Amino acid sequence: MKHLGLTAAFLCCTALPALASNEAWDSVKEQLYGERAILSGEGIIAIDAPYRTYDDARTDLAAQIKAPPGAQIAKVTVVLDENPMPVSAVFDLETPQPGFYFDITMRVNGPTPMHVVAETSDGRLFVAETFVKTSGQGACAAPPGTDPEIALATLGQMNIDVVGSLPGVNGGKLTSLASRLSRMDVDISHPSHSGMQMDQISLLFIPMRYVENVEIDLDGAGFVDLTGSISLSENPRLGLAVPQSTRSVDVTMTDTSGAVSHVHKDLAGF
C-alpha cells in the first residue's frame, strides 16, 4: 500500500490562529476538500466520544461508519478542530468496505468540536460532529509521562490483541455492523512527542516525533493505512473492526524520524 504522509495542507493547519469553532472547521474543510459538497452523516456515522475528557492526554475517541446504499467506505478522516494539528488521523482503506469502526487514544488539547468525515467509493463526503470538553490540562504541551531513555529503548514495540466481538457504539447506533466482526487492538510503544513539550531537566523543547503511518495487512493483503499526527497519545492504542475470518495480522509502524518496526501475529487458533 502506498505510504501516505501529511500533506502541506494538513501541516499548515498547525499554524492557524485561535479561531471561533465554526471558523476553524471551515478553514480545515476548505484546505482538505475545497468546494466539494459535504453531506450530513446522520444514519451513516456514529461518534462515541466523552462529554468531558478524564485525561486530556489520553482520550478514547471512536466512530462507526456504515456506507450508504450502493457505495463503500474508502477513507475516514478525524478532525479535532482546535488541536494544534487539527487533522488528527486519516484512515485509508486498501479495499473499500461496507462498514468501518475505529477507536483510538488521542490528545485533546482543549475544548473542541470533533468532526469525522467519511469518503465513499463514489466520491461522496459525509460528516458527523460532536463537541468534546476537556479537563484543562493542555495535553499537547503536557510533559511526557515516561522517562525519555526508557521511551527510546522501547520505541516501536507493538502488541496485537484480537477479541471475539465488537461492542456497539454508545447508544446502540449502527450496531448491526458488528454482527460478523472482531475487535483488534494494536498497542504501540512510542513517546509521540508533539514538539510543544519541554524537557523537565534541560527546560528545552523536545523535538517533534510521532507515529506517522501504521500499515495494517490482514491475511497477507492490505487492509488500512493510518496517517497519524501529534494528536496521537503517548503509547497510542488503535482499535479496529476486522472480519472474524481473519487468520493473520501484519502491522508496520513508521515514525517521523524514519524508525520502522513490524509485528506479525497468526490467529489460526483464535
Question: Residue 167 falls within a domain, yes or no?
Answer: yes
Count, residues in the chain: 270
Parent domain of 126 = 8-258
164-168, 245-249, 254-258, 265-269: least confidently modelled range: 164-168
Q: Is the residue at 252 inside a domain? A: yes
What are 139-187's pLDDT values in tens digits?
676 766 677 777 788 899 999 998 765 554 444 445 444 445 788 999 9
Task: Please indicate, yes or no, if residue 1 is contained in any of the structural domains.
Answer: no
Name 254's bridge partners.
213, 260
User: How crowded is residue 117: how many other Cβ atoms within 10 Å of its Cβ?
Assistant: 24
Q: CA 205, CA 33: separation in Å to the nearest integer?
A: 33
- Taking residues 256-269, report their average pLDDT: 90
Half-sphere exposure of 90 (CA within 13 A, CB side): 18
Q: Is the dihedral of CA 147, 151, 153, 154 positive or negative?
A: positive
The pLDDT assigned to 166 comes to 58
**Mean per-residue pLDDT of the chain:** 84
pLDDT digits (tens, 9 = 90+) for 9-62: 333 333 333 334 588 999 999 999 999 999 999 999 999 999 999 899 999 999
Determine the pLDDT at residue 267.
Answer: 85
What does DSSP assign to residue 6? P
pLDDT at 227 over 70: yes
Q: Structurally, how many domains does the chain consist of?
A: 1
* pLDDT of 9: 36
Q: Locate 128 and state its grid cell.
A: 458527523
Could you tell me if 22 and 115 are in contact, meaning their C-beta atoms sit under 8 angstroms apart? no
Residue 268 lies in a domain: no
What percentage of the chain reaches a pLDDT higher than 90?
A: 66
User: What global pTM score does this model have?
Assistant: 0.85
CATH number at residue 209: 2.60.40.2470
The residues, any chain, with a CB within 8 Å of residue 226's CB and separated by 6 or more, are: 89, 90, 91, 213, 214, 215, 216, 238
Whether 263 is covered by a domain: the verdict is: no
- pLDDT at position 198 is 64
3 found inside a domain: no
**How far apart are alpha carbons 49 and 81 in whole angstroms?**
14
Cβ-Cβ contacts under 8 Å for 32 (sequence gap 6 or more) = 9, 10, 77, 87, 117
61 found inside a domain = yes
